[in-house]
Structure formats: C-alpha cells, structure tokens
Amino acid sequence: MEILNNLALGFSVAFTIENLMYCALGVTIGMLIGVIPGVGHLAAISMLLPLTYYVPATTALVMLAGIYYGAQYGGSTAAILLNLPGTPSSSVVCLDGYPMTKQGRAGVALFMTTIASFVGSLITVVVLAAFAPPLADFAVAFNSADYFSMMLLGLVAAAILVQGNPAKGLAAVVFGLLLGIVGTDVSTGIQRYTFGLTFLYDGLNIVAIAMGIFGVTEVMANVGKVIQVKSDQKITFRSLLPTRSDLKQSIFPMLRGTGIGTGIGILPGTGTSIGSFIAYAVEKKVSKNPEKFGKGAIEGITAPESANNAAAQSAFIPTLTLGIPGDAVMALMLGALLIHGITPGPNVISDNPDLFWGLVISFLIGNVLLLILNIPMVGLWVRLLRIPYPILYPSIILFIVIGVYSINYSDLDIMLVALFGVVGCVFLLLGFEPAPLLLGFILGPMMEENFRRAMLLSRGDLMVFLERPVSAAFFAMIAALIVWSIISAVRKKRVAVTKEF
Amino acid sequence: MYTRVNRDFLAGLACLLIASLVLWQAYAYDMGTLRNMGPGYLPRFLGISLAVLGVITMVFSARTAMAFPSLNYRALICITTGIVVFALLMRPAGLFLATISLVYLCGLSERRFQPVRLGMLALALCGMSYLVFILSLNMPIRLFPWSF
C-alpha cells in the first residue's frame, strides 16, 4: 500500500502550520490578482519569488502554485461581471459569462464557474498523483543524450506553439540560452560574458530576470490602459444558486473540459489559455443547439473553466517528473527548486517524496480553500475590482524592487530588474514572446551539461542522439514539429496562438 | 524578395546585432572539439543560430509582420528611472527616501500629476514596507540617511 503511505506523507507535510499558512496566502493572492484586471499571475509569482529564499522548497512551491491555480479561479470573476478577462485564459468566459450577467444571472455564472474550476482541479490532481510517479520512474532510465533531446523538444515546442512566428519563437529561446551562459562555466571554470563584473560570476539572477520581463513590463504596458471600472453589481447569496437544469447541462461539459485541459496542460508550451479555447470550441461543436453560444450558454463557461484549471494542475506533471516546464510559470517553479539546490528531473519525486506528495495534498487543500473563498465571499472580490490602477502599480513596482533587493542586498540586482523591464518592452515592441526566453534561461545550463556529457561518452559522435531509441523518438517529434510549423506557415492558416501573459 | 522596414524586419535585425556581439566576444573563449567541448563552443553555436534565425525572420518579414503595438513610452521612461533611482538611493539614503522617490517617479507616468495623492500613497507604502520587511521579515535595510 505504497500509495497510502505516500498520501499519509503528503498529509503530514501539507498540514503543518507553515505550509497551510503559505497555501492560504498563495491562493488568496492568486484569487486577488486573478480578479483584478491588469495584474497577471506571472507578475505576482515573480514578485513573491524572493520569499522562496526564506522558506523551505516545499513551502515555496505550495505558495507559488497556489497563486497560479488561484488566479484561474479569480480570472473568471471580472470576465463575467465586466466583460474584462482578469487572466488571459478567462477571456473565453467573457463570451457567455457576460451575457449571463446582462440576463441577471451573474450569481449563477460565478457559482458555476467556481464549481467547474473545482471539479477540473480535483480530477486533475488525482491524475497527477496517479501518473506522475510512474512517468518519473520511466524517465529515471534516461541517459544524458536522452535528457538533452527531451529538453530540446521542450524548448522547440514552447517556441513554436507559443508564438505565431516560429523563427522568432526560436530566437527568443536562443536569447534565453545566451543569458544562461553568463557566469562561470561549470566544467572549465572560465568566466563567460561577465566582462569583469564580479556580480555576474554566479550568473544572472533568475528572480531579477523574471521580475523585469514579466512584472515591470506588464506594469509599463498597462499604465494608462486599464480603465477605471464602476461595478454596482450586488451579488446576493440567493442569486448564486443554479437551477437543476444548469447543473445537469454542466456535468458533461465540465468532464470534457477537464479531459481537454489535462491533455493540453501536459504538452510543453501550451499553458492554460489554449486549453480553455479548445474546450469552448469542442462544446460548441458537440452541442445540439450551438446557436445558444455567445448568448449565455452555461456550457460555454463551465467547460473552459474546468479546462483552464485542469491545465494549471496537469502542467505540474512534466515539470515535476521530467524537469521540462511547459510555460513560464512552470519555469519559475523550476527556478524555485534550483534556488533550493534541487535539480529538476525524474529524481525529484524519489529523492524528495515529501515535496511531491506535500504539494499534491496542498493542491487539494488549496482548492477547497478557493471554494470557500469564492462562494460565500464573492461580494468582497467584486468590491476589489474598484481599486484604482494608479494606486496599484507603484505598489507593485515597490514590492518588486524591495523583493529583489532582499535576496542579496545588492543594488545591482535592482538595476538588473530595470534593465530587463526595458528588455521586456523591446520584446513587446518587436513581437518576441518572453516565456520561451525564460524557459531557455532555465534549461540552458542543464542542456549544455548533458550535451557535453553525451559527447564525452560517445567520443564526439553526434549519432548517439539518433541511436538511442528514446532520444531518437524525441528528435522525431522535434522534426515533426518543425515540419508542421513550416507547412502551416506556408499555408498561412496559422492563427497567432493566445498569449500566456 | 521584397522587404522593407517593418516590425519583423527590425526584430531580425536585432537578432543579427546581438548575434554579432555574442560571436565577437565568443572568439575570446576556447572552442575545443565536439568530444571535449571548450567554453566557447556553445556561445559560437548559439550566435550562429541566432544570426540564421534573424535572417529568416528578415526574409519573410514582408509576409509575417504585424503592426507595432502601442507602447506607453512615458511609463517606460518614468518607471525605469524610478527603479534606477531607487537602486541608487537604497544604500546611501535608506528605504523611506527611496520609496518616496520611486512613488513620485512612477506617478509621473500618468498624464495628470497628483502630488497629494502620491504623497499619501508613498507614506502608506513606507509604513507597509516597514511592517512587512523590517518588522516581520527582519531585513537589515537602512531606513533613514542617518540610521546605522
């Protein structure tokens, strides 16, 4: 009964006062930034990344993950009430959620999205607990060539799927890989691209990069754009209650949404938005009366909400078992692991069972907390929509700079945040996605090490990547992805896939 | 192929520019062989890849480019200046002065400058960061120019 032992371990870890506190903190912050338009979960996670240095790895991950899935719950609130998506993945919910508000069914929409989110998360947590350990066991047999190919696949997939233009997506990855080179070369001890600056010897600080390109850039892009909203919606408890047919119509959409979201979340480079878009499209296709969609169809809000929450949870599967992050949020999770000296990869679960199982159980706790935060307290969140952005953003910037300063007490780290804020704006201007850059930065050093090791073992024979079956399979997938992206670029049918920001 | 200066053309150009800077520096590092890679191997490989990707982006730019997004340059300048000034003030002048200057510099990115409102916000944030970072997290941060 190994699984019971593992779950017992998980409960004992997740139910310590510290982890419960940080779990509650994480989901509350997530909910908060999900509700408030113009503040994304990436900005919030990078803002709180410095806290990672003060708490154990498990606690840090519990909190950061809480922000992520909490934001998925919160995002639909503004989408339903104001037609303003709080997070990108909830923009689909606007389509049918806002019409429901206009029909006076805002309460039902809020209630049902919360239930859908909860169902999606819960099922996926079970999937995570069931499938992550065997997947990790399988991956333990990988050698350095397999690892390299797998990480390469992760990067190429992220680059190609996140962005409309594959060449620019790959370029963004290369930028990240180059930033990962800065610092002391592990195998020769030579300083690369440090230009004699001592503070670069240990490499660039991941927190400073993330805060700059996600936090600061997001603020700069939103100043003056976020319109002051005036919501006089009053949500009474009675108005929340759905009718029997609302519930009945939602069961299968929720399950289908969960399935789609789980599958999409596992793929690298996709993230939560794509899951909810596909779930919506599928519902419209299978529906007996598709003309209802866009006019307040309950399936149009429950399926995507289940999907994005499922994707937010299943994204942890490749991150924790293989060490390949699917999107920028997962890259930051790996960053938190690296900060604590834990090398991401298949050994994470076997070496740190307390971390994995504690995290799994904390997902359960966090989702129950979110259920409580959402349903009785919905009125409070609605009121939060009125916080003016001019008060919010100087506070965000201040917390970012003090946060990054607190890591090394180095004013140069603050300068680095400013620099990467500007870099993020240049990226925005020229149309590069910042997420592949972060993935490249995190995976780069590990890839170089594995490549070197593979070359040393094979005596410089590149064929080793095609001779190993696992590695060859990864390379076949890389080739297929590239061919597919070229074909679709030629056909010009590609729609720029949603931005995960 | 017909190309002109547009968003993707500039993006490709930026790739080329950075690639050449990377390659220029990479020649200072030993390349080694494939079997025993030196510190210069990866930078060279990445520099060349970036250059190739830059050229591809430029060649197809006429077909792929979209319009430039509107960027709030005022916010970009004000907030960047605010952060840099904060970094410069943090050590010599302490947390409170740095916070006040950051809030005012950020506030300049709004079209309407509201000194009283910003002052209140700055004071509130000073109090909050004192509570969070000094009292509860015990960070050794200088508060006033004259303290420790």
Residues of chain B with C-beta less than 8 angstroms from the C-beta of A397? 79, 82-83, 102, 106
From first to last of its 501 residues, chain A has per-residue pLDDT tens of 678 888 889 888 889 999 999 999 999 999 888 888 777 788 888 888 888 888 899 999 999 999 999 988 888 888 888 787 777 778 888 889 888 888 888 888 888 999 999 999 999 999 999 989 888 888 888 888 998 998 999 888 888 877 678 889 899 999 999 999 998 888 888 888 888 888 888 888 888 999 999 889 888 888 877 665 655 566 677 777 888 888 888 889 999 999 999 988 887 766 777 888 889 988 888 888 888 888 888 888 999 999 989 998 999 998 888 888 888 888 889 988 888 888 888 888 888 899 999 999 999 999 999 998 888 787 787 777 777 888 888 988 998 999 888 888 888 999 999 999 999 999 989 989 888 899 899 888 889 989 988 988 888 888 889 988 889 999 999 999 888 888 877 776 444 444 333
Q: Does residue A499 form part of some domain?
A: no
Least CB-CB distance to B35: which of A177, A390, A455?
A: A455
- pLDDT score for B81: 95
Nearest CA in chain B to A452: B37
Helix-helix angle A411-430:B73-93, to 10 degrees: 170
| Helical axes A106-140 vs A91-102, angle rounded to 10° | 160
In this complex, which of A170, A395, A417 lies closest to B53 when CB atoms are compared? A170
Residues 6 or more apart whose Cβ sits within 8 Å of residue A25: A63, A66
A184 backbone dihedrals φ, ψ, rounded to 5°: -80, 130
Count how many Cα atoms sit within 13 Å of the Cα of residue B126 in the half-sphere of its side chain: 20
Q: To the nearest whole angstrom, how far is the Cα of B44 from the nearest Cα of chain A?
A: 10
What is residue B144's three-state secondary structure? coil
Residue A228, pLDDT score: 57
Partners of residue B49 in chain A, C-beta under 8 Å: 170, 174
Q: Angle at CA A253, nearest 5°, toward A248 and A255?
A: 100
Contact list, A389 vs chain B (CB under 8 Å): none
What is the DSSP secondary-structure string of A424-484? HHHHHHHT--HHHHHHHHHHHHHHHHHHHHHHHHTTT-TTHHHHSHHHHHHHHHHHHHHHH
Quote the domain boundaries for residue A37: 2-491
Within 8 A of B29 by CB-CB distance, chain A residues are 190, 192
Residue from the list A167, A412, A455 with its beta carbon closest to the beta carbon of B34: A455
Q: Count the helix, strand and coil residues of chain A and give each as a percent rounded to the nearest 5.
A: 75, 0, 25
Chain A residues close to B63, C-beta within 8 Å = 492
pLDDT in tens, B84-132: 999 999 888 889 999 999 999 998 888 888 888 899 999 999 998 888 8
What is the C-alpha separation between A142 and A291, in angstroms, rounded? Answer: 50
pLDDT for the residue numbered A494: 43
Q: Which residues in chain A have Cβ-Cβ distances shorter than 8 Å to B125? A: 394-395, 398
d(CA B144, nearest CA chain A) in Å: 15
- Residue holding tokens 């908060």? A32
- Select from A53, A165, A409 the residue whose CB has the most chain B CBs within 10 Å, as the one to mutate to test that interface: A165
Could B46 and A178 be called an inter-chain contact, meaning their C-beta atoms sit closer than 8 Å?
A: yes
CB B8, CB B54: distance < 8 Å: no
Give contacts of A426 with chain B, Cβ < 8 Å: 14
B37 neighbourhood in chain A, CB within 8 Å: 451-452, 455
Would an 8 Å CB–CB cutoff place B11 in contact with chain A?
Answer: yes
| Amino acid in the structure at residue B95 | L
Q: What torsion, rounded to 10 degrees, do the Cα atoms A56, A58, A62, A67 define?
A: 60
**Cβ within 8 Å of residue A473, ≥6 positions away:** none
Mean pLDDT over B23-49 rounds to 88
Q: How far is CA B75 from CA A217, A221, A324, B122, in A?
A: 10, 8, 35, 18
Contact yes or no for B133 and A402 at CB 8 A: yes
CB contact under 8 A, B11 and A168: yes
CA geometry: angle B27, B33, B35, nearest 5 deg:
150
Backbone φ and ψ for A191, nearest 5 degrees, come out as -80, 125
Whole-angstrom Cα distance, residue A214 to residue A225? 17
Distance of alpha carbon A67 from alpha carbon A215, whole angstroms: 14
Residue numbers in B near A395 (CB within 8 A) = 121, 125
Q: Cβ of B87 and A167 within 8 Å?
A: no
**A405 vs B111: CB contact, 8 Å cut-off?**
no
- Quick count: other Cβ atoms within 10 Å of Cβ B135? 10
Band (B4; pLDDT cuts 50, 70, 90)? low
CA distance A246 to A254: 12
Q: Smallest CA–CA separation between B104 and chain A, in Å?
A: 9
Assigned token pair, A395: 């506070």
d(CA A388, CA A222): 12
Contacts of B141 (CB under 8 A, 6+ apart): A402, A405, A406, A409, B90, B94, B95, B133, B134
* Both structure tokens of A91: 């923009």
CA-to-CA distance for B148 and B142, rounded, in angstroms?
7
Asked if residue A35 lies in contact with residue A384, where contact means CB atoms within 8 angstroms, the answer is yes
> Would you say A96 and A312 are in contact if contact means Cβ atoms under 8 Å apart?
no
Cβ separation A178–B107 shorter than 8 A: no
Query: How many other CB atoms are there within 10 angstroms of residue A450's CB atom?
Result: 22
Question: Does B18 contact A223 at a Cβ distance shorter than 8 Å?
Answer: no
Domain assignment present for residue A496? The answer is no
| Segment B64-87, tens digit of pLDDT | 777 888 888 888 999 999 999 999
Nearest C-alpha in B relative to A445 = B42
Q: Which of residues 77-106 of B touch A (CB under 8 A)?
A: 79-80, 82-84, 86-88, 90-91, 95, 99, 102-103, 106
Tokens of A322: 């293989």
Let me know if residue A70 belongs to a domain: yes
Residue A354, min C-alpha distance to chain B (Å): 26
Contact B8 A395 (CB under 8 A): no
Which helix (H) or strand (E) segment is B97 a member of? helix B95-107
Q: Indicate the residue of A225, A430, A451 with minimum beta-carbon distance to B7.
A: A430
Chain A touched by B120 (CB under 8 Å): no
Domain count along chain A: 1
Which of A25, A182, A190, A223 to probe the B interface (max B CBs under 10 A)? A223
Check residue A227 and give its pLDDT: 61
The residue ranges of every structural domain in chain B are 7-64, 73-136
- Kindly report the three-state secondary structure assignment for every residue of A378-430: HHHHHHHCCCCHHHHHHHHHHHHHHHHHHHHCCHHHHHHHHHHHHHHHHHHHH
DSSP letter string, A306-368 = HHHHHHHHHTHHHHHHTS--SSHHHHHHHHHHHHTTPPPSTHHHHH-HHHHHHHHHHHHHHHH
The answer as to whether A66 is a domain residue is yes
Alpha carbon distance A457, A283 (integer Å): 51
Q: How far is A193 from chain B (nearest CA, A)?
A: 7
A29 in Cβ contact with A23 (< 8 Å): no
How far from A316 is each of A174, A192, A320, CA to CA, in Å?
24, 33, 6
Q: What are phi and psi of B37, to 5 degrees?
A: -75, 135
Q: Do B129 and A402 touch (CB under 8 A)?
A: yes
Phi then psi for residue A178, to 5 deg, are -65, -40
Tokens of B48: 């060349």
With vertex at residue B72, the alpha carbon angle to CA A39 and CA B12, rounded to the nearest 5 degrees, is: 100
Pairwise CA distance, residues A78 & A262, whole Å: 24
Say if A463 falls within a structural domain. Answer: yes
Give the number of other Cβ atoms within 10 Å of residue A429's Cβ.
18
Q: Under an 8 A CB cutoff, do B11 and A175 touch?
A: no
